Structure 1
Amino acid sequence: MATSTLCNQVAEKWQRSFAKLNREKEGITGLLEFTRAWLTASDQLRPRDKSGLAVKPPYDKTKLRECFEIIRSCNLHAVFLDDYLDAVGRHLPAITSDIEFYMKMYEVHITYPLPTFASWLRLIQREPKVEHIAMLINIAARWQRAWAPLPEMGASAISAFTCTFQTHLYSILPPSFTEGFRDLIAATFDFKSIESAPDWLPLRFPCTPGVPRPDFTLWIVMQELGLIERYETLILSVCYERIEKHISETCGKVWDRQVLQEMRDWMSREVVTWLTMPYARDARSAEHAAMLMKGVGSRLDYHVCKTLADLRTLEIFDIIIDYPDSRPALDDLKECLQRVDQRSQLVQSLRKANRRRLLHPGADTKLILTQYVSIIRCLRIIDPQGVLLFKVADPIRRYLRDRPDTIRCIVASLVGDGESGESGDSLVDENEPIQPINQTQLEDYTDPNWEPEPIDAGPGNDIISTLISIYDSQELFVKELQILLAQRLLAIKDGNFDRERRNIEILKIRFGEAALQVCEVMLRDMTDSKRMDQHIQQQTASDLHPTVISRHFWPPLQTNTFTMSGQFRKIQEDYANEFHVFKPDKKLVWMSHLGSINLEVELDDRTVEAEVPPLEAALIELFSEQDEWTVADLIVNVGSIERSNAVKALTTWVELGVLKEDSPDHYRLLKTAEEASTRATARQPAVAVEELPPVVTVQQQQAEQMRVFWMYIEGMLKNLGQLPLDRIQQMLKFAPNYDRNIDQLAAFMEAARREGLVTVTNGLWKLQSK
C-alpha cells in the first residue's frame, strides 16, 4: 500500500497540474477551456488525406489564436507540437504511394515488366519525361502545404514540421530522382517565354502575373521543398555542362579571334540570367540581384576560363603549328591561365603531343626545329617568365642533341639561301634585334614594377641563343659555319659575294670577331682569287677560271685525286705557268675532282652541249683518242678513282646519247646518233649535277678522328687488358686533339662492340678475341 507521504506528493503534484490547466478560474472552467482549445487546434492541424489537399478547412483566426494562447499559457505548447508531429508521422506513408507512382511513370522503360512483344512495342515508344518529375514535385508541395502548421503556431513549429516532412520526403525519393530532377532543371533553360514553355508547365504551375518566366512558380515550389538548397551542386553542374557544350561547339579550332570575352558575355546573358530564378527571385533591383549572384557569377566565370583552358590545352600542338595566325587563341589561353591554375596540365599535354607527333624518326630535323621555335614564341606569349618553356623544351632539346644533322640545320638557318626563300634569320622574328649569343640581361632593380623570377624559370635568351644552348659548346657551331660557308662560297659562279659578306657581319655579332676570322679569310680568298684570275686573263686568255684558296684556313676538302687528260691537262699547265709568273713564291695544287666544265662534244652528225664535273670531262676526252674503252682501261688512264664513280660518270654520257654500253664494262663512242639514242637524248637534260659536297662535314671529320683515337684505344686494351670506361677516358685525354666527353666515348665503344671489335663484362672493356 502507498504510504501517506507518497499520497501527499501525488496529491500535491495533481493540484499543481490542475491549477496550471485551470489557470486559477472557478471550478473546472479553465480546464474545460483548455480541453476545447486543444481539440480545436488539433482538429484544425490534423493531417488530411488526398481529399483535403486542395484547401484547408476554413477557420476563425481570432478563435484559433486564442486556442494557441491558452495552450501556450499552460506551458504545453511543446507537448502540443510533439503530438502534432506524431500525427504527421503517422500519415506520412500516404505520401509514399504518390511518389512511387510518379517515379514509375518516369522510369517506365526500365521498371515495368515486358511480358509480351506488344507490351514491349508500346513501352519503347515512351521515354522518361521531365513532366512526371514536375508533377511529383507539385504533389509533394501540395502535401506539405496541406499539413503545414498554421502561422499562429510560430516559426519554431513551422521549422520542426518542415524538417520532419522533408526528411521523410528525401528518404523515399529513389536514386533515379536525381537524374530526373537534373533533366527538369536543364529543360527550364529553354523557358524564356510563355510560348516556349511546354503545355504541362503552365497547367501545373500557372505563370505569375508580371513575371516573364513561366518557370517562376516551379522554382518557388522547389524552394518550399528545400530542393534548391539540397541540390545546389546539381543545379550548378547543369550550368557547367551547358557552358562546356557551348564552348566545345563554338570555340573548337577557332584560333583567329579571341573568344573568351564572347563566352563571358554569353554566360552572363544566358546562364546567369537563368540562375536568377533559383538564386535571386526576390531581388528588389538589378543591383540587389547582382549582389545576390556575385558568388555564383564568379564560380561560373571560373568554369568558363577552365573549360576554354582545357579546350586550348588539348589543341595546343595544332595552335603552335598555326602560329602566328593563332595568336588570339594564345592570348585567350594566357588570360585563362591567370584565372585558372592549369599550367601543369598544359605542360603535360604539350609534352605528350610532342612525343607522339614530333619527336620520332619520321620527322625531319628542320621541321622539329621549326616547331621548337614556334613553341618558344608561343609559350613566351602565354608565360613571359619562361617557366612553361623551361619544362616543355627539355625533351625536345635532348632529342635534337642526339640527331646528327641538328647543328647543320641550325647553321643553315643562320646563313640561308635567299633563292629558296630561306633567309639568314628564318628562325627568328624579323623585328627581333641581332644580339650576341648568351648575352646576359642586367636587371633594373630600381624599376618599381620589378619582380623576382620564379625559381623554375628558364633562361631568357633570344631564339638563336636558345637553339645554340642545346649544346654545351659553340665550337661545333663555328666549325659547321665554316664548312657551310665554304660550300656556299665554292658554289658561287658569278663572283658576287655580297650576301655572304653580310652573313659574316651578322654572325660576327652573334659569335664574336674571333670565331669568324677563318670565315673572313675564306671570303678574302674568294675575292683575291677573282682579281688574280682577271689579271691572268688579261695576260693570256684562258677558258679555265679556277678558285685559288689558302689550304690552311679552309675546312678539309674531299679528296679524290685523278689527272685530267688531253687538252684539259694542257689548259691546267698553261694556267699554272702564268700563275707562277704572277706569284713566284706560290704553287698551285689542282683539285681536279671539284668544279664543273662546260663542254661541246662535236660528233659527225650533231654537237652535244653539257655542263659536267671534271671526271666526266676527263673520261669523254679519252674517247677522242679511240672510240672504244673498257672501264678498267679508263681508270688506268685517269688515275686513282673508284670503279663506281667511273661507271656513274660514263652513265651520264650514255644518257646523253654520246656513248653506248655494248657489253658490261665496255663502252663505244656513237659518232652517228642511233634512232633510240636520239629520242633518249631529247628526253634527258644536258646537265649533270654534283651531288657530293666538296667540303668534309663535321660528322665526317669526327668519324675520321675517332678512327685515329681507336688506334690509341686498341693499344691500351692490348697492353693493359680490361679497362673501365672512365679509365679509357682519362688516358685518351693525353691523345692530341681529343675533346670527346665520356658519353660520346660510350657511344663509340658501343658501336665498336656491335662491330665485334670489343666486348664488355661488368663495365670492363676488352678486345674481342680473334
Structure 2
Amino acid sequence: MAQLREIAQAWKIYCASALDSPIQQQRPGRRKGSAGFKGQDVSRSLRFLCERGLGEVVMQHFMDELERSLKENYIPEFWSHFTDFLSVKENSDTKQLNEWIHSSLPVALEKLCSKKVSQEDGLNALIKALETNASVNGSQILTSHQTTVTALLLTTSPSYFSDLLKLYFTARLEEFSGSFRKRPCNSDDEDCEASTDVEDMDVLGVESPCKGEAEATEVSEDSVSVRNVVKRLRDLGFAALCEEAYASAILSLLKKKIYSIADKRYEKPVLGPIRHWIEAVPMRFLSAILESSAGSSSLSPLPATPSPLASSSTLSDLSKERIIRWRLRLQFFTYETLAIEDLRQCLANTGEHSKLVKSFRLALKQRLLTAGAATTDILTQYVSTIKALRTMDPTGVILEAVGEPIREYLRGRKDTIRCIVTMLTDDTATTSGTTVAGGGEGLLEELSRGTTTVENADSDEEGELDGEEAWAAAQRWEPDPVEADLSRTSKSRRSMDIISMLVGIYGSKELFVNEYRVMLAEKLLNKSDYDTDREIRTLELLKLRFGENNMHSCEIMLKDLADSKRINSNIKAKGKPQETFQKGEELTLHNVDATVISSLFWPPFQTETLQVPDFVDKLLDDYAQQYHTVKAPRKLQWKKHLGTVKLELQFEDRSAQFVVSPMQASIILKFESCSRWSASELAAASGIPVTTLRRRIVLWINQGVLVESHGDKDGEVFYQVVETIGDGGQRGASAPTEAAVPLLEEEDGQSAVTPMEDQWQQEMNVYESYIVGMLTNLESLPLDRIHNMLKMFVSDPPYDKTLQQLQGFLGSLIADEKLEFREGVYRRKQ
C-alpha cells in the first residue's frame, strides 16, 4: 500500500507538471517537479496502477489537475484581458472602444483555446495509454472536460462580457456591410419597380436594391478574424452568448435600416429594398459565420443566384438549413417591426389603447385560450406577446392588461409549471444554433442571459442619483396611464423580465423550485452512467436566478450521484471478477449499479410493494453489506421498485434485450418457472394488485413477449410466453438478433417520484378542516379574508401559501362539491 500511495502521489505531481505540454511529446529525461519520473517510468507506472484497478484514480487525478489549472491560471488570465473594458467604454469614443475590443478579444480567445487544446492533447494521450489496461470511455471523458471548461467560464464570466461581444459583432457587421457593391438590376425583377428611388439607394448604401447579379469584394483579414472568433467562442462553450451577440447586432442594424427607409414614408412600398438589403448584408455575414461551424477555412463569395446561400457548395447541409431559417426569421422580423412600430405610432396619436386591449383579449380567447391548444404553445405565444407588447408600449400597461387572461388560464392547467420548468431547463432548443432573439425559442438562453434574481423583480428601489443624472431622470419621468394597475409599481412593470413574469403566474418561486426538484429527481433516477454535467450547468444558472439556498437540495442530489459513482467503483473493486450472467449462473456485484441518495433532500417517492426474485435479494444484501463496510456505520435501505433492469430474454427462435423497470422485470422473470400464468396468480406471486399487474404487463404484450387470453370463466385472464414468432398472432417480436438494447419507457406514464400536484394536495388537505370551520361559523367569506384568517390562526403547520395557491385549492373543494362559489364569496355546499 505504501508503494501504491507513493506512485499515486508521484503520478499526481507528474500530472501537475505535464499540463502545458502533451504527454506524447515528453522526452524520457527528468522533468522539474516530476518526482524523478522518466518517460519509460510513466508508462510503467500506468501499467502498475491499472493492473491494481486504479486506472480510474489515475484519470481522476489528471482531470482534477486540469480543472485546478483552469481555475487558478488559465481562466483568470483570460478574463484579465477585459478588466479595463468598463473604463475604456466610459472614457473613449466609439471608434477607440471598437479598436480596443478588436485588439483584445481575438488575442484572449486564441491564448485560452491554445491552452485548452494543449490540455486535450495531454488528455488524449493519457486515454490512449489507459485504453489497453482499463475500461476508459475516451469520448465521455473529453466531453466531461469540455463541460468543465464551459461551466467554469459561464459561472465566472463578468456581467459585461455579453455587451462586449455585442459591440464586437456590431462593429464587424458595420464593416462588412460596406464591403459589397451591387450591379444595376434586371428590368424584369418585380422588386425593381417599387424601389428605383435614388433616395432609397442612398439609405440602403447600395447602387441598386434588386436581387440581380452580385459581386463581392475580396475577403479581408477582418472577415477571417470574425470567423476565428466565432469558432473559438463555440469551442469554449460560448455558443449561446455568441449567437445572441451577433443576432442582436444583425437585428439592431436591420431595425436601423427599416427606420431609415420606412419612417414617415407612405407613398411607396418599402419591403423590396429592405428584403434586398437582408440578402446583400446580413445573410452574407451569416453565411460566413455559419460556414465556420461546418469547418470551412475560407470565406468564399456566394454565387450570383436568386437564392445564393441555398445553392452554395461550400456550405454543409446543416449550414444551409440554418441559413434558410435565418432568412425567414429576418423577413418575419421585418414584417413584425413594420407592423408593431406603425401601431405604436398610431396609438400615440389616437389613444385607442383600450380598443387594442379589448380586441387582443378577444382574439386570445377565441384562438389561443382553448382546450385544444397545448400548454407549451400557449406559453410560447405568451413569451412572444411579452416581447412584442413591450416594444409597442414600454410602460407595460398594455402587457399587464392583455397578459392577465393568459396568466389566469394557465393557472387552471395542471401541467403549466412542469412545462415552464421544462422550457427553462431544456437545452435542445439551443443546441442546433438556429435560435434568434425575438423568436419562440426555449427559455434556457433567457435564463443564461440575465442574472437578476426573482426576488428583486418587483422592487421599486433605485440607486441615489445626484446632479445632472437626477435632473435628467426627472425630465424623463412620465405618469402611468389611467388604465394602469395601482397595485404594481411603474419600475416593476418595466423591469420584470420574461422568466420573472412566468414565475409571477403563480406568485411564488417555491413552486418552480419544487417542480424542478421533482423533474431533476426523475432524470437522475433514470441515469445509468452517473453523467450529470448537463444538469450541473443548468443548476448553476438556476442558482443565479433563484438563489443558492433555494437550490441547495438539488445540489445535494447531484452530489449524491457523484458519490454513488465513487462508492459503486470501490464496492466493485472489492468484489469478485465480473461474469456474464446466463441462466443458472450466479450474479455478482459487477451486475449492480446503485444510486445512494440522501432521502432528506430528495422529493418523496411513490410507494409500491414488490417481491423481487431470491437471487436478486441476495445480490442486494451482498451490496448492502459491502456498503456498510465502506461507509460504516451507515446502512442501505433499498427502494426495490425504483431504477432500471437490463435483461436478455431467450426464446426458442430468438433472443432480445430490454431495459425496463424492476416491476416489469420481476413480472417477466416469473415465466422462467412457468410459461403460463393466470392474472390473479401472477399478481399474488409478484406481490402487487391485479390492476397494477394488468397495467404493467401491457409492455410485454406490446413487445410480442407475452400473449393474453381469456379463460372459460368470466373475467379470467391468462398470460403465456410467445416462444416462436407467430404464436398468438400478436405484434410479434423481431427475428433473432443481437441488436442494441432498446430503452422502454413506462407506457402508463407512471413516475417514481410523487408528482408536485399530489405533494401540494397533501399539504393543502391539512387546511381543509380550518376552511370548513370558518365557513360553518361565518357562513360566507371572500378569498382574501380566508387567506388572512389562515395566516392569523393556523400555526401547526404554519400557513405559508400564496393567494393563488389557496384559490386553486378552494377550486378543488368546489369540484368535490364540498364548497360553492357565488357572488364573489365561498360557502359550504348545502
Bucket of the pairwise TM-score, normalised by the shorter protein: 0.5 to 0.7
* Equivalent position of 1:584 in the other structure: 632
In 1: Cα distance, 2:401 partner to 2:775 partner? 42
Within 2, Cα distance between the matches of 1:516 and 1:602?
A: 46
* Separation in 2, partners of 1:556, 1:328: 52
Q: 1:760, 1:429 → 2: CA distance?
A: 39
1:736 and 2:756 equivalent?
A: no
Superposed CA deviations along residues 698-717 of structure 1, whole A, max 9, x for unmatched, are: 21112223344445667888
Kindly indicate whether residue 758 of structure 2 is the aligned counterpart of residue 700 of structure 1: yes
- What residue in structure 2 maps to residue 550 of structure 1? 598
Amino acid at match of 2:336: S
Aligned to 2:609: 561
Per-residue deviation, residues 529-572 of structure 1 (Å, max 9, x unmatched): 11111111111242111211110101111221212114322322
Give the 3-state SS of the residue equivalent to 2:646 in structure 1. Answer: strand
Which residue, 573, 593, 597 being the options, matches 2:645? 597
In structure 2, the residue matched to 1:667 is 719
Question: Is the CA contact (8 Å cut-off) linking 1:323 and 1:378 kept in structure 2?
Answer: no
Post-superposition shift, 1:745?
4.8
Change (3 A) 1:754 1:417: same
Q: Give the letter aligned to residue 655 of structure 1.
A: N
Note if 1:688 corresponds to 2:766.
Answer: no
Pairing of 1:507-518 with structure 2 (within 5 A)? 507-518=542-553
Q: 2:462 aligns with which of 405, 418, 442?
A: 442
| Superposition map of 1:494-533 within 5 A | 494-533=529-568
- 2: distance between equivalents of 1:473 and 1:434? 18
Cα distance in 1 for residues equivalent to 2:763 and 2:331: 40
Give the C-alpha shift of residue 610 in structure 1: 1.6
Q: Secondary structure at 1:515's aligned position in 2?
A: coil
Post-superposition Cα deviations, 1:60-106, rounded to whole Å, max 9, x if no partner, equal xxxxxxxxxxxxxxxxxxxxxxxxxxxxxxxxxxxxxxxxxxxxxxx
Equivalent position of 1:121 in the other structure: none
1:326 offset after TM fit, Å? 2.2
The Cα shift of 1:263 comes to: 9.0
1:487 aligns with 2:487: no
Q: Does 1:478 align with 2:513?
A: yes
2:599 alignment partner AA = R
Match of 2:500 among 456, 465, 471: 465
Relative distance call for 1:258 and 1:336 in structure 2 (3 A) is farther
Structure 1 residues 192-341: aligned runs within 5 Å: 258=258, 265=265, 267=267, 326-341=336-351
Once the two structures are overlaid, the 10-residue window that deviates more, 501-510 or 705-714, is 705-714
Q: Does the 8 A contact of 2:703 with 2:731 survive in 1?
A: no
How far has the Cα of 1:261 moved from its partner?
A: 5.4
748 and 343 in structure 1: CA distance in 2 versus 1, 3 angstrom threshold: closer
8 A contact 2:606–2:754 mirrored in 1: yes
What is the deviation of 1:676?
Answer: 5.3
8 A contact 1:627–1:669 mirrored in 2: yes
Distance 1:383 1:750, change over 3 A: closer
Q: Distance in 1 between matches of 2:638 and 2:665?
A: 15
Pair 573,427 (structure 1): closer, same or farther in 2 beyond 3 Å: closer
Unaligned runs of 5+ in 2: 1-254, 270-328, 436-440, 482-489, 576-588, 711-715
1:17-60 CA-to-partner distances (Å, cap 9, x unmatched) read xxxxxxxxxxxxxxxxxxxxxxxxxxxxxxxxxxxxxxxxxxxx
Deviation at 1:498, TM superposition (A): 1.3
- Amino acid across the alignment from 2:605: L
**CA RMSD of superposed structures (Å):** 4.0
Change (3 A) 1:420 1:364: farther
Q: Give the 3 Å change call, closer, same or farther, for CA 395–742 of structure 1 in structure 2.
A: closer
Structure 2 match to 1:645: 692
Q: 1:759 to 1:601 in 2, by over 3 A?
A: same
Aligned counterpart in structure 2 of residue 381 of structure 1, from 391, 405, 427 = 391
- Pick aligned residue for 2:358 from 348, 351, 362: 348
In structure 1, distance between residues paired with 2:265 and 2:780: 72
Q: Does the residue aligned with 1:611 lie in a helix, a strand or coil?
A: strand
**Corresponding position: 1:426 with 2:451:** no
The residue type equivalent to 1:645 in the other structure is T
CA shift, 1:633, in A, is 1.8
Q: How many residues align?
A: 464
* Aligned residues of 2:647 and 2:658 also touching (Cα < 8 A): yes
Matched, 1:452 2:477: yes
Distance 1:330 1:722 in 2: 51
Query: 1:635, CA displacement in angstroms?
Result: 1.9
User: Residue 677 of structure 2 aligns to a residue in which SS?
Assistant: strand
In structure 1, C-alpha distance between the alignment counterparts of 2:817 and 2:397, rounded to whole Å:
46
The residue number in structure 2 matching 1:657 is 704
For residues 671 and 375 of structure 1, the distance between their equivalents in structure 2, rounded to whole angstroms, comes to: 58
Return the match for 1:406 from 416, 425, 429: 416
Equivalent-residue separation in structure 1 for 2:336 and 2:452 (angstroms): 27
Larger Rg, first or second structure (1 or 2): 1
Do the aligned partners of 2:513 and 2:550 also contact (CA within 8 Å) in 1? Answer: yes
After superposition, the Cα gap between the structure-2 partners of 1:558 and 1:419, relative to the gap in structure 1 and judged at 3 Å, is: farther
Distance in 2 between the 1:256 and 1:348 partners? Answer: 31
Cα distance change of structure 1 residues 262 and 377 upon mapping to structure 2, 3 Å threshold: closer
TM-score w.r.t. structure 2 length? Answer: 0.50
> Which consecutive residues of structure 1, in runs of 5 or more, have no partner in the other structure?
1-254, 270-318
For residues 256 and 673 of structure 2, the distance between their equivalents in structure 1, rounded to whole angstroms, comes to 71
Match of 1:99 in 2: none
Q: Equivalents in 2 of 1:761, 1:430: separation in Å?
A: 41
C-alpha change, 1:558 and 1:356, in structure 2 (3 Å) is same
The answer to whether the 8 Å contact 1:542/1:575 transfers is no
Distance, in Å, in 1 between the alignment partners of 2:351 and 2:541 is 42
The 1:727/1:656 distance shift into structure 2, 3 A limit, reads: closer
- The CA deviation at 1:510 is 0.8
Give 1:600 deviation, angstroms.
Answer: 0.8
Asked whether the 8 Å contact 1:526–1:548 carries over to 2, the reply is: yes
What secondary structure sits across from 1:518 in the alignment? helix
Q: How does 1:137-156 map to 2 (within 5 A)?
A: none
Q: TM-score when scaled to structure 1?
A: 0.53
Q: Give, in angstroms, the shift of residue 753 of structure 1.
A: 5.1
C-alpha contact (below 8 Å) 1:343/1:388 kept by paired residues? yes
